[in-house]
Amino acid sequence: MRHIISVLVENEFGVLARVAGLFSARGFNIESLCVAETLDPTLSIMTIVTTGNEFILEQILKQLNKLINVIKVVDFKDVDYVAREMILVKVAAENEKREEILRLTEIFRGQIVDVSPKTYTIMITGDEEKIRAFLSLLKPFGIKELVRTGPIAISRGDKTIKGKKEKGEENG
Amino acid sequence: MPARTGAQIFVEVLRSEGVDTIFCYPGGATLNITDCLCNCHDIKQIVVRHEQAAVHAADGYARATGKVGVCLVTSGPGATNTVTGIATAYMDSIPIVVFTCQVNTTLIGNDAFQEADIVGITRPCTKHNYLVKDVNDLPRKMKEAFHIARTGRPGPVLVDIPKDVTAAMTDAKIPEKVFIRGYQPNYNPHVGQIKRAMKLLAQSKRPILYTGGGIISSSASSELLKFAELLNIPVTNTLMGLGGFPGTHPLFLGMLGMHGTYAANMAITESDLIIAIGARFDDRATGKFDEFAPKAKIIHIDIDPTSISKSIKVDIPIVGDSKLALRKMIEFYEQEKEDFADYHRSIKEWHEQIEKWKTEYPLTYTRDGSLKPQFVIEKVYEITKGEAIIATEVGQNQMWTAQFYKFIKPRTILTSGGLGTMGYGFPASIGAQVAFPDRLVIDIAGDGSIQMNIQELATAVQFNLPVKVIILNNGYLGMVRQWQELFYGKRYTWSRIYSPDFVKVAQAYGAEGMRITREEEVEDCLRQAFENGKPTFIDVHINPEECVYPMVPAGAALKDMLLV
């Protein structure tokens, strides 16, 4: 199963290496990983997409929690959330196809961020399904390069990741 | 605060942590600190002959005393030599702080002389590690290192200090308290879970306590004894748990696992309730995961949530300190005694069954006139009455010790359980001897293992550390030989080894050397050695064909033991 996990960490040297090292040493998968500073510059949030059964996920969450620099781990499995990803895609665009791609981009509320005589570079944000749909429509034109951020996620409603401390309350 | 150098801060923090001993090896990058320790007679400075031994010695010191072991080494090769020692302590959850010095901050990343990225190298085998780039952070990071090493599930912490940081000046205070926002281990077990566990126990007919190193690190052995006696539950220990429950107690079944006793492994297999405390279901203890304790529900008490349901799914997880959990369970029992009336009636049958297993296949060996290692270890136990601190190396010597020496008190066995590090025992026994100059400290070794850190004879002689090394010499890497005999058609590839004359080696270093070749010599020779007040090698020529039994072949279920 695919899971999105948010990890609140200290914004310190070596923390990314600790998290990445933990995944590789224990044979956990990372599908994508996205990390940047939060409003509080001493903290960062990592959004990790991983796959594994319940058993593996439980270990991933516990092992992440065990790292000294990790302050909180949220598994979005139990939380209502919003997830978005951004992609930059360079697609072959010549002659009459240019118009068609432009329309498609507008329909998906994307933006053309770079133009060359033979290509468009399109930026688009959205959830997984939207991006999949857009890419499948774009494919026949000839995708030359694709760069994606991997999703970032945030919980819906009033809740924030820094809200309640969960570490050390894992009984039962 | 007046301004001090990083090196002075270093010494101040050691004092504030009550450090009385460090195990060290100097080098270019340590010199500022080394110089600062020149007149510190309150801190014993044991200079070893190889940095790996410094870490094992600090580890042995920590296991024997319960305090944090400390070592200090130089950059580059000094630092990389510590890795095996750190990994050993990590696997066995031993609190040590390893200080490595580093090249100047301006040179880091430049492939400078004697530079190694030790923080990167040790990230997966430390509980946490630090590179101190700014002298103002030095006091806080050092204090945090000690705090992290000793609290929660203990473990090694490494602090890498560049040489220019040890020379830089700061007026930073030494913090009295440590607060780390991402690290607050949970000691208090959940009361609801304790209740559920005790209710399950009240219904159980065949319970067993399976306890590990957590009993030792949380000093819970008296609570364990009380709990086991109150509820009349048989106890089996892991290798790391030995000494946590008296080896002479009628409720004791011996060690479980690959070389565990028949009674312990059968009891686990037939049990209907396992209470695991401070143990982590290591593969050497459980045998084949899928066939481990097929009839049992499992209660698991551990300070580390990641240990719970890692390899074996448990029914009642309890995160917390072993000692506190046992106290709560005892309290619960004393309040709800009447609920346990049926339990006490039905458990008799279980004890009868266990008694049968114990008498059917006790730990044993054949006396055939040749010198048997088990006989030697029994003699060591008889003479020391379980009062000595016993270190082991790894392999047959370790398993025979675990089987035939009865550990009565906690912190009397020093052995590399998780990583299985040959060469651990001798330096570890040096560390323990430094902590307890008046106690008898013995390393039970093999002819292979002892050669992995034999250079420490010089350390023992230089610092008058009268450790006794009993070398069970069979001319083989015995455990490898045993596997080759049983599973590889007796092809003893690589396992037949040449060794020097250990008596002469010891003498050349200025230590005592003795040799035993026959049973009749064992007792006298051991007694002499134990009383001579000097570091001593005792080269014991044992029967080279002797194997460790029982044995559960790797990957088999616990009940499928080879008994002879």
pLDDT attached to residue B564: 74
Tokens of A8: 């609140």
Confidence of residue A171 (pLDDT cuts 50, 70, 90): very low
Report the distance separating Cα B145 and Cα B16, nearest Å. Answer: 13
Confidence of residue A167 (pLDDT cuts 50, 70, 90): very low
Report the distance separating Cα B70 and Cα B20, nearest Å. Answer: 9
CB contacts, 8 Å: B319 with chain A = 168, 170-171
Burial of A125 (0-12, 13-18, 19+ CB in 10 A): middle
**Contact present, B272 and B205 (Cβ < 8 Å):** yes
Please indicate whether, in this complex, the C-beta atoms of B305 and A170 are within 8 angstroms of each other. yes
Comparing alpha-carbon positions, the chain B residue that sits nearest to A72 is: B182
pLDDT attached to residue A172: 34
**Contact present, B405 and B380 (Cβ < 8 Å):** yes
Residue A165: pLDDT over 60: no
CB contacts, 8 Å: A38 with chain B = none
List the single best residue of A9, A18, A42, A68 to mutate versus B (max B Cβ within 10 A). A68
CB contacts, 8 Å: B180 with chain A = 68
Q: Which residue has the higher pLDDT, A171 or B23?
A: B23
Contacts 24+ apart (CB under 8 A), B89-92: B89/B55, B89/B59, B89/B62, B89/B155, B89/B156, B90/B125, B90/B126, B90/B127, B90/B155, B90/B156, B90/B418, B90/B419, B91/B416, B91/B417, B91/B418, B91/B419, B92/B59, B92/B213, B92/B240, B92/B416, B92/B417, B92/B418, B92/B419
Instruction: Using the Cα atoms of residue B486, residue B487, residue B491 and residue B494 in order, give the sign of their dihedral.
Output: negative
**H runs (alpha helix) in B336-424:** 341-360, 373-384, 396-404
CB pairs under 8 A between A and B: 60
Place of tokens 């550390």: B465
pLDDT attached to residue B421: 98
For chain A, the 3-state helix, strand and coil shares in percent, each to the nearest 5, are 30, 40, 30
Residue A159: pLDDT over 90: no
**Contact present, B68 and B55 (Cβ < 8 Å):** no
Neighbours of B18 (CB within 10 A): 9
pTM here is 0.95
By Cβ distance, the residue of B124, B186, B192 closest to A21 is B124
Residue type (1 letter), A131: I
For the stretch A91-148, pLDDT in tens is: 999 999 999 999 999 999 999 999 999 999 999 999 999 999 999 999 999 999 999 9
By Cβ distance, the residue of A63, A68, A70 closest to B306 is A63
Burial of B96 (0-12, 13-18, 19+ CB in 10 A): buried
Comparing alpha-carbon positions, the chain A residue that sits nearest to B191 is: A171
Strands A81-92 and A143-148: what pairing? antiparallel
By Cβ distance, the residue of B131, B148, B305 closest to A68 is B148
- Check if A69 contacts B (Cβ < 8 Å): yes
Please indicate whether, in this complex, the C-beta atoms of B182 and A18 are within 8 angstroms of each other. no
Instruction: Return the exposure string of B201-215: e unless at least 16 CB atoms fall within 10 Å of the residue's CB, then b.
Output: bbebebbbbbbbbbb
Question: Catalytic residues of B, which ones?
Answer: 51, 113-114, 163, 479
Confidence of residue A164 (pLDDT cuts 50, 70, 90): low
ipTM of this predicted complex?
0.90
CB contacts, 8 Å: B309 with chain A = 55, 58
**Contact present, A144 and A91 (Cβ < 8 Å):** yes
Percent of chain A with pLDDT over 90: 87
List the single best residue of A11, A15, A28, A62 to mutate versus B (max B Cβ within 10 A). A62
DSSP B475: S
Q: Chain A closest CA to B326's CA: distance in Å? A: 16
Please indicate whether, in this complex, the C-beta atoms of B193 and A67 are within 8 angstroms of each other. no
Please indicate whether, in this complex, the C-beta atoms of A68 and B131 are within 8 angstroms of each other. no
Neighbouring residues of B203: CB distance < 8 A, sequence distance ≥ 6:
B343
- Tens place of pLDDT for every residue, chain B, 564 residues? 789 999 999 999 999 999 999 999 999 999 999 999 998 999 999 999 999 999 999 999 999 999 999 999 999 999 999 999 999 999 999 999 999 999 999 999 999 999 999 999 999 999 999 999 999 999 999 999 999 999 999 999 999 999 999 999 999 999 999 999 999 999 999 999 999 999 999 999 999 999 999 999 999 999 999 999 999 999 999 999 999 999 999 999 999 999 999 999 999 999 999 999 999 999 999 999 999 999 999 999 999 999 999 989 999 999 999 999 999 999 999 999 999 999 999 999 999 999 999 999 999 999 999 999 999 999 999 999 999 999 999 999 999 999 999 999 999 999 999 999 999 999 999 999 999 999 999 999 999 999 999 999 999 999 999 999 999 999 999 999 999 999 999 999 999 999 999 999 999 999 999 999 999 999 999 999 999 999 999 999 999 999 999 999 999 999 999 987
Report the distance separating Cα B80 and Cα B24, nearest Å. Answer: 14
The total number of residues shown for chain B amounts to 564
Q: CA B286 → CA B216, B296, B557, distances in Å? A: 20, 13, 8
Please indicate whether, in this complex, the C-beta atoms of A170 and B123 are within 8 angstroms of each other. no
Report the distance separating Cα B255 and Cα B399, nearest Å. Answer: 10
pLDDT attached to residue B334: 96
Q: Chain A closest CA to B213's CA: distance in Å? A: 19
CB contacts, 8 Å: B313 with chain A = 55
